[in-house]
């Protein structure tokens, strides 16, 4: 058996010639393989590796591994060999509720709190916790029970706030984790921790890890797509930043690509005015011909890669507009998602787009919805936030289900932490505020890999401390990886001499209790 051309210590020797890929691509492989002796130092290989995206997921991981490993990785590194086991989910959609939704008003039902209205939360519950600078000066910590009634839904009889009528309809499909908890108490570190497994910037996010580890399933679209929901100026929109979808120390080609609702859906996608497709094709033909001359003359494999990237760019120019063209969606789509989904940038629109991306084999889609940071006026703002998101979530899950995609798509709904049961600022019968709360928050998942209709973990009577089955962010991420066929302990990338992991360095555990 032949050695993998890029893998000096490769044990499972795969040749792309054996893979079910188009002949044209095999030819390109042959060309590049004949030049494999050009490969070597990190920079060059990185570029070259991206050529391999043409081959799809099976080969990219090896190429990428070779690219990512600098010399010392050859000593101790092992091959990625992904997935580690048969994945339940091939792709994932992450609905990220930035700002932190109040679990006690939405999912974590605490009926007895009504009797505690305006009473001080016992100091024993709070313990010696470090509070944020926003409420730590408060003289009192009066309990603010949820303003909204809860009711039971589905065959599971799950309690859900009346604010979420659509989510209520699908509770039997969802897996709730009421004991999610984190180390960070402020947005910046918490949102980094949730997305990258580390409070400080510089680590790859979940999507980048998946793009690196599992590669692409579509030759014409990015592997990892980020969708931003238009902000509602009335809400308290905590910022997000490109480092949340950054590839950290992994090659930057694994960063999330923003699909935008304003301007070009992908930046610089559209040809300039006056340049039609035919003109672009002619221009590219000329560029390619000259680049091939350069390749023949200088023999730098980087040139070969560039030729391929220009072709992929050309294909993206048609595949992305096709993706965002919703004109062929059937009427049933609009019945499900509602009329808001027609307006680019709404949460419902992004959910619909997420479904279309999943259909087209995009590995990881992350939808950001900002505005959940309800320090005050919970009564005024929460209905708005729920109205903006509730139906989209339901529509996405239902749509995936009816199209047969839910079985191998993992859908995740989470914010970066929870909110306090005690009121921040003034508490009245009419209104209250809630501060950041890291010790417990509710998240849900559904689809490939998780068991529907489960509620996992419990909190105390004040929705303040986890009393049963805690799920730390690390465990949460480890479980997501598990659903995608990845053993988080084995999924490492050597950087600065360490096997860096999404879940490291403290031990993390897959939440067995929610697996399907």
Q: Which residue in 20, 274, 330, 404 binds another protein (CB under 8 A)?
A: 274
Q: What's the min distance (Å) between Cβ of 142 and another protein?
A: 14
Q: What's the min distance (Å) between Cβ of 223 and another protein?
A: 11
Q: What's the min distance (Å) between Cβ of 437 and another protein?
A: 11
Q: By CB under 8 A, how many residues form the interface with another protein?
A: 105
> Which one, 27 or 136, has the nearer CB to another protein?
136
Q: Which stretch binds another protein (CB under 8 A): 170-178, 292-300, 425-433, 465-473?
A: 292-300
Beta bridge partners of 444: 176, 413
Using left for φ > 0, alpha for ψ between -120 and 50, and beta otherwise, residue 191 falls in alpha
> Which one, 18 or 276, has the nearer CB to another protein?
276
Q: Which residue in 17, 267, 384, 467 binds another protein (CB under 8 A)?
A: 267
Q: Applying CB under 8 A, does 377 fall inside the site for another protein?
A: no
Q: Applying CB under 8 A, does 497 fall inside the site for another protein?
A: yes
Q: Applying CB under 8 A, does 257 fall inside the site for another protein?
A: yes
Task: Name residues contacting another protein, limited to 65-84 (CB under 8 A).
Answer: 70-72, 74-76, 78
CA angle 341, 342, 347 (to 5 degrees): 30
Q: Which residue in 12, 276, 325, 343 binds another protein (CB under 8 A)?
A: 276
> Which one, 257 or 483, has the nearer CB to another protein?
257
> Which one, 19 or 201, has the nearer CB to another protein?
201
Q: What's the min distance (Å) between Cβ of 29 and another protein?
A: 17
Buried b or exposed e, range 84-117, using 16+ CB within 10 angstroms: beebbbbbbbbbbbbbbbbbbbbbbbbeebeebe
Q: Applying CB under 8 A, does 459 fall inside the site for another protein?
A: no
Q: Which stretch binds another protein (CB under 8 A): 23-31, 304-312, 323-331, 389-397?
A: 304-312
How far apart are the C-alpha atoms of 442 and 176, rounded to whole Å? 7
For another protein, what does the binding mask look like between residues 133 and 152, x meaning CB under 8 A? xxxxx-x-------------
Tokens of 44: 């060059």
Q: Which residue in 15, 291, 324, 377 binds another protein (CB under 8 A)?
A: 291
Q: Applying CB under 8 A, does 187 fall inside the site for another protein?
A: yes
Q: Which residue in 22, 111, 157, 293 binds another protein (CB under 8 A)?
A: 293
How far apart are the C-alpha atoms of 487 and 83, rounded to whole Å? 8
**Secondary structure percentages of the chain, helix, strand, coil, to 5:** 40, 15, 45
How far apart are the C-alpha atoms of 8 and 131, rounded to whole Å? 52
Q: Applying CB under 8 A, does 324 fall inside the site for another protein?
A: no
CA-CA distances (angstroms) from residue 419 to 125, 233, 266? Answer: 15, 21, 35
Task: Name residues contacting another protein, limited to 413-452 (CB under 8 A).
Answer: 435-436
> Are the C-beta atoms of 389 and 415 separated by less than 8 Å?
no
Closest CA to 428 of 107, 29, 118, 17: 118
Task: Name residues contacting another protein, limited to 191-210 (CB under 8 A).
Answer: 200-202
Q: Which stretch binds another protein (CB under 8 A): 171-179, 243-251, 336-344, 382-390?
A: 243-251
For another protein, what does the binding mask look like between residues 207 and 236, x meaning CB under 8 A? ---------------------x--x-x---
> Are the C-beta atoms of 120 and 391 separated by less than 8 Å?
no
Q: What's the min distance (Å) between Cβ of 287 and another protein?
A: 5
Angle 347-359/301-324 helices, nearest 10 degrees?
130
> Which one, 133 or 404, has the nearer CB to another protein?
133
Q: Applying CB under 8 A, does 512 fall inside the site for another protein?
A: no
> Which one, 136 or 428, has the nearer CB to another protein?
136
Q: Cα–chain-centroid distance for residue 312?
A: 24
Q: Which residue's entry shows tokens 């691509």?
A: 25
Q: Which residue in 242, 318, 332, 428 binds another protein (CB under 8 A)?
A: 242
Q: Applying CB under 8 A, does 8 fall inside the site for another protein?
A: yes
> Are the C-beta atoms of 305 and 47 separated by less than 8 Å?
yes
Closest CA to 67 of 222, 212, 256, 248: 212
Q: Applying CB under 8 A, does 34 fall inside the site for another protein?
A: no
How far apart are the C-alpha atoms of 466 and 456, rounded to whole Å? 11
> Which one, 86 or 262, has the nearer CB to another protein?
262
Closest CA to 21 of 214, 219, 303: 219
Helix residue ranges, H only, 360-472: 378-402
CA angle 99, 348, 354 (to 5 degrees): 90
367: which DSSP letter?
E
> Which one, 156 or 309, has the nearer CB to another protein?
309
How far apart are the C-alpha atoms of 397 and 393, rounded to whole Å? 6
Q: Which residue in 14, 19, 31, 42 binds another protein (CB under 8 A)?
A: 42
How far apart are the C-alpha atoms of 286 and 510, rounded to whole Å? 53
């Amino acid at each position: 058996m032949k050695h993998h051309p890029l893998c000096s210590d490769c044990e499972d020797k795969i040749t792309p010639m054996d893979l079910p890929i188009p002949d044209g691509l095999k030819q390109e492989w042959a060309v590049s393989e004949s030049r494999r002796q050009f490969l070597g130092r990190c920079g060059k290989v990185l570029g070259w590796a991206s050529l391999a995206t043409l081959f799809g997921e099976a080969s990219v991981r090896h190429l990428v591994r070779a690219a990512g490993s600098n010399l010392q990785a050859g000593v101790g590194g092992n091959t990625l060999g992904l997935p580690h086991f048969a994945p339940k989910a091939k792709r994932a959609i992450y609905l990220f509720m930035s700002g932190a939704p109040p679990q006690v008003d939405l999912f974590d039902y605490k009926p007895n709190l009504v009797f505690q209205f305006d009473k001080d939360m016992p100091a024993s519950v709070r313990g010696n916790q470090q509070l944020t600078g926003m409420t730590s000066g408060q003289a009192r910590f009066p309990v603010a029970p949820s303003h909204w009634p809860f009711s039971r839904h589905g065959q599971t009889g799950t309690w859900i706030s009346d604010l979420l009528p659509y989510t209520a309809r699908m509770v039997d499909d969802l897996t709730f984790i009421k004991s999610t908890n984190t180390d960070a108490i402020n947005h910046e570190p918490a949102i980094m921790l949730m997305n990258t497994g580390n409070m400080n910037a510089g680590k790859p996010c979940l999507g980048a890890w998946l793009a690196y580890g599992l590669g692409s399933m579509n030759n014409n679209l990015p592997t990892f797509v980020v969708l931003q929901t238009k902000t509602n100026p009335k809400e308290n929109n905590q910022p997000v930043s490109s480092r949340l979808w950054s590839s950290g120390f992994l090659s930057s080609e694994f960063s999330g690509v923003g699909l935008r609702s304003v301007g070009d859906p992908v930046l610089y996608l559209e040809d300039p005015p006056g340049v039609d497709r035919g003109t672009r094709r002619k221009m590219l033909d000329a560029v390619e011909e000259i680049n091939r001359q350069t390749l023949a003359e200088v023999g730098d494999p980087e040139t070969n890669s560039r030729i391929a990237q220009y072709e992929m760019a050309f294909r993206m120019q048609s595949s992305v507009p096709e993706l965002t063209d919703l004109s062929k969606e059937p009427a049933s789509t609009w019945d499900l998602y509602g009329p808001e989904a027609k307006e680019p940038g709404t949460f419902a629109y992004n959910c619909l787009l997420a479904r279309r991306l999943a259909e087209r084999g995009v590995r990881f889609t992350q939808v950001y919805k900002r505005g959940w940071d309800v320090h005050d006026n919970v009564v005024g703002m929460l209905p708005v936030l729920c109205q903006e998101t509730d139906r989209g979530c339901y529509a996405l899950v239902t749509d995936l289900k009816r199209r047969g995609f839910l079985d191998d798509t993992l859908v995740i709904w989470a914010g970066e932490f929870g909110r306090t049961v005690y009121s921040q600022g003034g508490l009245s019968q009419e209104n209250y505020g809630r501060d950041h709360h890291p010790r417990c928050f509710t998240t849900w998942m559904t689809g490939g890999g998780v068991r529907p209709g489960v509620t996992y973990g419990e909190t105390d009577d004040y929705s303040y401390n986890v009393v049963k089955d805690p799920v730390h962010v690390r465990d949460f991420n480890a479980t997501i990886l598990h659903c995608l066929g990845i053993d988080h302990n084995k999924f490492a990338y050597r950087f600065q001499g360490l096997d860096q992991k999404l879940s490291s360095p403290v031990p993390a555990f897959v939440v067995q209790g929610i697996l399907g």
